[in-house]
Structure 1
Amino acid sequence: MEEEKKIEDHSEENSYIRIKKFKFIMLIFLLVFSTAGITLAALSFGDEKAATVAIQERKEFSKLYEAFDMLDEKYFEKVDHKKLIDGAISGMVKALDDPYSDYMTKEENEKFQESIAASFQGIGAEIQEQNGDIVVVSPIKGSPAEKAGIKPNDKIITVDDKNIQGMTANEAVLLIRGEKGTNVTLGIQRPENPEMIKMTITRDDIPINTVYAEMLDNGVAKIQITTFSKHTYDDLAVALKEMQSKGMKSLIVDLRRNPGGLLDQAIEIANLFVPEGKNIVQVEYRDGTVEKTVAQSGKKIDVPTVVLIDKGSASASEILAGAVSETSNIPLIGEKSFGKGTVQTANDFNDGSNVKYTMAKWLTPNGNWIHKKGIEPNYKVSLPEYANVSYIDPDKKLHESSASNDVKSAEEMLNALGYKPGKIDGFYDSETEKAVKEFQNAEKLKKDGILTGETTIKLMNKLSEHIQKNDPQVKKAIEVLTKSKK
């Protein structure tokens, strides 16, 4: 009754304004509380019969309403109510300080879904937000990102000269992805090099193959799984059959630079190695409830096996690596994995916006949580230093008397390939020029001693081939398999 008296004390126009404002506030209640599981009775206004409003009082929201009213009434320009609400929800999600939780407005969600539909075109790199930075988890095998020299743990500082620090991973993805044939220039910073590197990458079709098999010497089959997508298990089954037909006696499963993907695919593949009845993975919820996924009967791989992992092996890769290591004594070789031990889900709102959040954590068969820790390999083997040499922009011209980090990278590459560039100090002297000419001569390129364009691209490609051919992690895997047969 007190509220009715207050309304009567004002003019008809002011009464209308107050009722309209009350309706809007109730709309906010509906938007906020409907997602929190609070029941609201229907409202009616004007000539309609009023309904009883049953609202559970939430004192912690009074500050939110006060801030909204203050901005709505006193900000020097008219505010957009929708933007304020979107900003409030986005702020709540960001306050979780979880790189795997994110909020997208209707417009952002629509753009993101469009980019997912066209995700087979772009640069091909898995990224995530870490402490305000956009960090590469891993490039996809055969993608433009991998060919350009993008590496795990690279920080992307700029996209086409726009600083993206502070952006969410989804916001960054929308800037980086694009149509085949278009270019994007990334400003990259590496842990070992504070100087930002500019990389211009031509977007292309992203390889959809996720399984690559080859037969090495002495019946050793090597199968690389680059990500876990819809058809990965089926593709692996085909690859295994092919390797068996070629006399497979032992197996290397390569999960290096595999950023993860679909959980069900990782579980199906793990079932090939984990004995029936043993845990593959456990999922633990906030109330302490644990769901266990147990290996079923069926086809099992019975040849000696090892698994390769590195800092780019994340999420579903770690589920597979942890499962086979703890249940089947399959050795892990390489470097400590990335360390993502959480499970996400997404919720769509009626207005088309979307929130993704972490809803559980996953544990290894023995109950270990590897989040932010990673999985340690049984045999720690690092790639040689030259495998981490920085990318060189092919558009730059490096010649005698040049001095830069790019020159140092070139010297390290030449030295790794057996050429002699002299002192590796970042200064392009006569010995460096001589080494470049020798390289150009060997590759049938223009012999001018200048490092640019085709010469630069060829040099980086040759180094990549050299790393693969002389891969110490694969060599260690073969050594371990050889010993296991004796």
Structure 2
Amino acid sequence: MNVKARYAAIVVVLAVLIGAAGSYIGMQYFGVGKESPTERLANASQGAENFGSLSEEEQKEFIENMAGSTNLKKVEQAYGVIKDNALKDVDQQKLVEGAIQGMLDTLEDPYSVYMDKETMDQFSQTIESSFQGIGAEVSMVNDKVTIVAPIKGSPAEEAGLKPNDQILQVDGESLEGLDLYEAVLKIRGEKGSEVTLKVDRPGASEPLSIDIVRDDIPLETVYTDTKTINGKKAGVIEITSFSEKTAEDFKKALKKFENDGMDGLVIDVRGNPGGLFADVQEILKQFIPKDQPIVQVEDSNGEVSRYFSDIESKKDYPITVLMNEGSASASEILAATMHEAGGYELVGTKSFGKGTVQQTIPMGDGSTIKLTLFKWLTPEGNWIHEKGVKPTVKVKQPDYFYTNPVEIKEPLTFDSNGEKIKSIQELLKGLGYTPGRTDGYFSEKTKAAVEKFQSDHQLNVTGKVDAETAGKMEELIVKKIRDEENDRQMQKALEVLFQ
């Protein structure tokens, strides 16, 4: 049987990923294909049975045929020399996998990686399921495992992980030299187990130690709320990621708001790390008229495919989109398209900046290569990779939203200085106290503010910041951050909506 002829355009697919990192800590999205950009993405939800239905021998023949036209004599020669002559015992499987990983490393693409069978088995959960872990999506940035965004309501969010945090150690073990999936497997774990992450945070003078208790992470992705401003009613739909049921749930929420007679809509994709290409398309098709593309996809040959809706006109109510530095990939598609093709305002801060699409290719033995195959482009043809999407209305949250947790080993005292004291001063200021200077010097005014805080919260009044005092400040700041009245970005989005 000629496996190559029969299956040259068919590769197993679970789902096309256009998420920022390609890896939830606890879950993985997958997708592969060999057709044109349009065919590969359009057929992404089909074909899993095609490759999987082949016998093991047929799968092996297929893989060999795919590589048969390439001159691999040098690689074969190196393999033989090492296997036959190396002083140390040689694990032949590791030699092969090392060669594959080495080829991928030359691409200098953090999103193109090799997963051996064991790793793949641990990432084989389907996209509609829940999973266990800390609940954050990560990427490899400058060889560092970097948080793209914690999932809404997850242990990672509760513990205070933020976009752009870099994970240096897991339970005291360095992640240096590990690829993304090896690192993720160390961070993942069963519900109820605890993991300690050493995190390097931009703006912090030294790494932070963050304890997180792993839990079940359900993939509910659509949340709704209603806001009233100046007598007008706005529907708010928050999308936390794009998974298998996101578009369906979004349509239901939108229809209910429209039936209830809302005056405007806010779509909130802050902290949304991305997800399925098909779902963001389906959502955009409800808003963008058919005369403009909703997104474009370019392959390695420069061939561009454009995707369109079939609606005649825009909605008859105003819309704004909320975004921030944790909005990545599929959520960046939504934001860019709503502005460029829909003319809607984008409120918040610049997005993450991921403009590539990965798909996974099985190697016939349970292992998989995840390879970057496409660029996605905005309706106007812009590539936002490593640039991000800029808001049309820039709004930052209050400074205390960006404060760092303070790890106290020895109490912070008057006439000392440092980044920890600067963080304490920001916490005090955010809680309504007046620390005077906020440059990290522990002044008399800072001491007085600490004493007032301790007195107000029934703590031992010492004017020194110990672990108990710092912990209470952080607890109150988290509560304040979660108070919707302090969400400047949402307030501005509503203001822009009805201006």
Question: What letter corresponds to residue 470 of structure 1 in structure 2?
Answer: N
- The equivalent of 2:170 in structure 1 is 159
In the TM superposition, residue 146 of structure 1 has moved relative to its aligned partner by 1.5
Structure 1 residue matching 2:272: 3-state secondary structure: coil
Moved more, 30-39 or 266-275: 30-39
Question: What letter corresponds to residue 119 of structure 2 in structure 1?
Answer: E
Matched, 1:358 2:372: yes
Give me the CA root mean square deviation. Answer: 2.9
- The equivalent of 1:69 in structure 2 is 80
Moved more, 455-464 or 96-105: 455-464
Q: Distance in 2 between matches of 1:194 and 1:115?
A: 40
Q: Distance in 2 between matches of 1:34 and 1:426?
A: 60
In the TM superposition, residue 353 of structure 1 has moved relative to its aligned partner by 0.7
Whether the 8 Å contact between 1:211 and 1:225 is mirrored in structure 2 is yes
Whether the 8 Å contact between 2:129 and 2:219 is mirrored in structure 1 is no
- The equivalent of 2:306 in structure 1 is 292
In the TM superposition, residue 312 of structure 1 has moved relative to its aligned partner by 1.2
Structure 1 residue matching 2:207: 3-state secondary structure: strand
Matched, 1:126 2:125: no
- The equivalent of 1:80 in structure 2 is 91
- The equivalent of 1:34 in structure 2 is 63
- The equivalent of 2:475 in structure 1 is 458
Please show how residues 365-376 of structure 1 align to structure 2 within 5 Å: 365-376=379-390
- The equivalent of 1:256 in structure 2 is 270
In the TM superposition, residue 131 of structure 1 has moved relative to its aligned partner by 2.2
**Percent identity over paired residues:** 42
In the TM superposition, residue 261 of structure 1 has moved relative to its aligned partner by 0.7
Structure 2 residue matching 1:221: 3-state secondary structure: strand
Question: What letter corresponds to residue 122 of structure 1 in structure 2?
Answer: G
Whether the 8 Å contact between 1:411 and 1:426 is mirrored in structure 2 is yes
In terms of fraction of residues, the more helix-rich structure is 1
Whether the 8 Å contact between 1:400 and 1:430 is mirrored in structure 2 is no
After superposition, the Cα gap between the structure-2 partners of 1:118 and 1:83, relative to the gap in structure 1 and judged at 3 Å, is farther
Q: Distance in 2 between matches of 1:160 and 1:301?
A: 51
- The equivalent of 1:138 in structure 2 is 149
- The equivalent of 1:16 in structure 2 is none
After superposition, the Cα gap between the structure-2 partners of 1:425 and 1:107, relative to the gap in structure 1 and judged at 3 Å, is same
After superposition, the Cα gap between the structure-2 partners of 1:117 and 1:185, relative to the gap in structure 1 and judged at 3 Å, is farther
Q: Relative CO higher for 1 or 2, CA cutoff 8 Å, sep ≥ 6?
A: 2
Q: Distance in 1 between matches of 2:443 and 2:476?
A: 18
Please show how residues 75-224 of structure 1 align to structure 2 within 5 Å: 75-113=86-124, 120-218=131-229, 219-224=233-238
Whether the 8 Å contact between 1:408 and 1:426 is mirrored in structure 2 is yes
Q: Distance in 1 between matches of 2:129 and 2:248?
A: 23
In the TM superposition, residue 474 of structure 1 has moved relative to its aligned partner by 2.3
In structure 2, the gaps of 5 or more residues are: 1-58
Whether the 8 Å contact between 2:133 and 2:214 is mirrored in structure 1 is yes
- The equivalent of 1:17 in structure 2 is none
After superposition, the Cα gap between the structure-2 partners of 1:123 and 1:398, relative to the gap in structure 1 and judged at 3 Å, is farther
Question: What letter corresponds to residue 491 of structure 2 in structure 1?
Answer: K
Structure 2 residue matching 1:193: 3-state secondary structure: coil
| Deviations, residues 116-160 of structure 1 (Å, cap 9, x unaligned) | 898532211110112211111111122111122211111111111
Q: Distance in 2 between matches of 1:396 and 1:469?
A: 34
Q: Distance in 1 between matches of 2:307 and 2:265?
A: 25
- The equivalent of 1:474 in structure 2 is 490
| Deviations, residues 77-133 of structure 1 (Å, cap 9, x unaligned) | 221111100110111112111111110111221223369898532211110112211
Q: Distance in 2 between matches of 1:439 and 1:142?
A: 29
- The equivalent of 2:40 in structure 1 is none
Structure 1 residue matching 2:423: 3-state secondary structure: helix
Whether the 8 Å contact between 2:130 and 2:218 is mirrored in structure 1 is no
In the TM superposition, residue 421 of structure 1 has moved relative to its aligned partner by 3.1
After superposition, the Cα gap between the structure-2 partners of 1:207 and 1:399, relative to the gap in structure 1 and judged at 3 Å, is farther
Q: Distance in 2 between matches of 1:427 and 1:469?
A: 31
Structure 1 residue matching 2:209: 3-state secondary structure: strand
Question: What letter corresponds to residue 167 of structure 1 in structure 2?
Answer: L
| Deviations, residues 8-35 of structure 1 (Å, cap 9, x unaligned) | xxxxxxxxxxxxxxxxxxxxxx979935
Whether the 8 Å contact between 2:221 and 2:242 is mirrored in structure 1 is yes
Whether the 8 Å contact between 1:336 and 1:374 is mirrored in structure 2 is yes
- The equivalent of 2:395 in structure 1 is 381
After superposition, the Cα gap between the structure-2 partners of 1:57 and 1:355, relative to the gap in structure 1 and judged at 3 Å, is closer
- The equivalent of 2:14 in structure 1 is none
| Deviations, residues 447-470 of structure 1 (Å, cap 9, x unaligned) | 55655356255233234236x423
Q: Distance in 1 between matches of 2:129 and 2:172?
A: 24
Whether the 8 Å contact between 2:399 and 2:426 is mirrored in structure 1 is no
After superposition, the Cα gap between the structure-2 partners of 1:79 and 1:478, relative to the gap in structure 1 and judged at 3 Å, is same
Q: TM-score normalized by structure 1?
A: 0.81
In the TM superposition, residue 276 of structure 1 has moved relative to its aligned partner by 3.0
Question: What letter corresponds to residue 169 of structure 1 in structure 2?
Answer: L
